[in-house]
Structure 1
């Protein structure tokens, strides 16, 4: 019998004073049996970085041609494509030809090696590559609960994610 996904719910309140973005988002995420808590929480941070009402999680672990998150316009055209992890360079190149904005939120101890190996990404003007530090991905796991109340505060480039039991300083490194 196949294992089923575990459902997580997060009420995410964002107060980003740097760009004057304020909002409340009710997120429902499915944790696939092969997925880690670390990746689940990175997906929430990716959502927070690019949050809009139209941004949505996809079935990226089931559908290999989908990103972790995407945003479509009213006509159904892709506007934003967001990958989490260390995606294949060809997948990112294909997405960059289909969307106005493409982003990769990379994490783990082999990000530098992956980025060096995928040098063609540097030629794509509509692709951003962000790296989360290992300390960040370790700390955010302590915030994970089946039902989460999360507050994200951003001021002067400093990101703090606060949960019921802990908080984490979020360190972003922009590679591209």
Structure 2
């Protein structure tokens, strides 16, 4: 028998001063049995950073043709494709072909260093790609916020994210052209 996803509910208040975006979101996150609290919370962070009326979570780890999150406008055009973790070049290429903008939010320390060394040159050719990195310490602080029912306030100002007592400064490894 297959294990079921665990459902988490989040009331997220976003005040993104960098983009001038202010909104409240009632979110449901399904955490796949093989997904960690860290990965789930990085998905939630990605939502806060790129929040919009059309941003949605993908179907999850078991679906190859959907990202962690994506912004699809009412006409069906994929505006933004967001991956979390360390996707391979093929996945990024597919995302770049299907969407107007691609974002990767990598997390951790040594594994990200190795992944970035191996993929930096290959990924540099994707002009619409932004790659951000969350440090191990920031990731641990983020994962510690995970609860089945969460009420979170997030402020983004000058590239710094303030989320319930956590201060995160995502490092830009590659900025979109």
- Do these two structures clear the TM 0.5 threshold for a shared fold by scoring above it? yes
CA displacement at 1:154 relative to structure 2 = 2.3
What are the ranges of 5 or more consecutive residues in structure 2 without an aligned counterpart? none
- SS where residue 175 of structure 1 aligns? strand
Q: Any residues of structure 2 matched to 1:25-174 within 5 Å, and which?
A: 25-109=25-109, 110-118=111-119, 119-162=121-164, 167-174=165-172
Distance 2:123 2:140 in 1: 27
* Superposition misfits of 4+ residues, deviation over 4 angstroms: none
Distance 1:126 1:98 in 2: 11
Distance 1:101 1:87 in 2: 15
Cα pair distance change 1:58/1:157, threshold 3 Å? closer
Per the alignment, residue 17 of structure 1 pairs with: 17
Distance 1:158 1:50 in 2: 13
The answer on whether the counterparts of 2:9 and 2:149 sit within 8 Å (CA) in structure 1 is: yes
Q: Count the aligned residue pairs.
A: 172
What are the ranges of 5 or more consecutive residues in structure 1 without an aligned counterpart? none
CA RMSD in angstroms, aligned pairs only:
1.2
